[in-house]
Amino acid sequence: MCGRFTLFVDPKDLMEAFPGFALPVEWTPRYNIAPTQPVAVIPNNGQNKIEFFRWGLIPSWAKDPAIGNRMINARAETVADKPSFRAAFQRRRCLVLADGFYEWRKEAGRTAKTPMYIRLKSGKPFAFAGLWETWRAPDEETVYSCNIITTEPNTLVAKIHNRMPVILEREAYDLWLDPAEQSPERLDAWLKPYPAEQMTAYAVSRFVNNPSNDSAECIVPAT
């Protein structure tokens, strides 16, 4: 699964990576983004701007928004068929913006896992493949939520975890953000592990284990 990631890149670099999309006025570097928190997304709603959606998909038919706490990820292998994700996969897709993510590696003979920080070697921001939904609360408030699609790991991440988030190639952005309904077959072609040779990973301290810790200390290499 993907349960924690970062987005602290300079806004200028973000605009270079995602040209043509308006950046929110308020922008705060994030080093430890966790489920249920607001995440930066570009939804395929034709607005051409970066918005903040709640991480944890809440289907429109849900009676309780807490269901989103269990739906932070969707598996690439079943996303086209699962009732909770099927319609969003065809009609409501988004780019979830990031510049790195964390996974926890099991260590032989130890119960405590080692947090690992994984990013592109270039250090540039990228986009996870995501889905989004709208949910109407009893008080008529509209909640916008999203999740991240995961797939089998590449050779780098496989040494750390048995899943990884889908990082979309830039060539996939136009299709992913097309407001028109898309066939699962066209979308499936992009739900693949990102090339391992373009990524790097290193151990960080357990400081990151606490989601309330959200500072640059989270990504400092462990000593």
Catalytic residue IDs: 2, 103
Beta carbons within 8 Å of 70's beta carbon, 6+ residues apart: 56
| Three-class secondary structure assignment of the chain | CCCCEEECCCHHHHHHHCCCCECCCCCCCEEEECCCCEEEEEECCCCCECEEEEECCCCCCCCCHHHHHHCCEEECCCCCCCCCCHHHHHHCEEEEEECEEEEEECCCCCCCCEEEEEEECCCCCEEEEEEEEEEECCCCCEEEEEEEEEECCCCCHHHCCCCEECECCHHHHHHHCCCCCCCHHHHHCCCCCCCHHHEEEEEECHHHHCCCCCCHHHHCECC
